[in-house]
A = this chain, B = another copy of it.
Amino acid sequence: MSKVKADITISTDGYVAGPNQSPEDPLGQGAEELHVWALGLEAWRRPHGLEGGETGVESDLVDESIAANGATIMGRRMYSGGSGPWDGDSNARGWWGDEPPFHHQVFVLTHHEREPLEMDGGTTFHFVTAGIEPALDAARAAAGDLDVLVAGGAQAIQQYLNAGLVDELTLHIAPLMLGAGELLFEGVEPLALEPILSVPGPIATHLRYRVN
């Protein structure tokens, strides 16, 4: 059955973004380091249009997730990059380039209505103003038998977790402390998790939980 999955990289101290996010530094101070574990993997490079890269258990993990996902949901800031640049600007194109790496339908949670934006390579951004449940309904419909990925940021994942709508949570724990920024689990309600996978990589450790 189609699942709803959250999948995100956090620092060892729990941040998904560093302090002082801006259009010039959309991930915030120090937070590019978070994603270093993925950049060399074949499974990450391919959907980004890059050749080569490492294969193996970590690449397989990313590959399987990507293959299973039929639609993506993200918050407005993850779409636009950083904290400010797209607020109310209905012409902004996001920061994903002309050929975003999703290659399927992406549903952006926002308060600003706008027409869908069709990109190269099979990605279309849909802007959903009706809330997280209608966005999930639309994403499920688009995904068919495949899974729906809640890709971030922190607030989107918090909202779906607190609404009881996430089936699986995957955390990639990167080996650094950011010290400040955006905490993934700020305001998440108490919850039991069932560990279903733990994969040690050379840089990050990957944990997957069934959410009860």
Residues of A within 8 A of B (CB): 12-14, 29-30, 33, 161, 171, 173, 175-180, 183-185, 187-195, 198-200, 202-205, 207, 209
The quantity of this chain's copies bound in the complex is 2
Contacts A179-B188, A185-B177, A192-B176 given; indicate if A207 touches B205 (C-beta within 8 A): yes
Report the minimum CB–CB distance from A33 to chain B (whole Å).
8
Note all chain B residues with C-beta closer than 8 A to A176.
190-193
Q: How far is the CA of A173 from the CA of B200 in the complex (A)?
A: 14
Q: How far is the CA of A175 from the CA of B192 in the complex (A)?
A: 7
Report the minimum CB–CB distance from A182 to chain B (whole Å).
13
Q: How far is the CA of A207 from the CA of B10 in the complex (A)?
A: 14
Report the minimum CB–CB distance from A149 to chain B (whole Å).
19
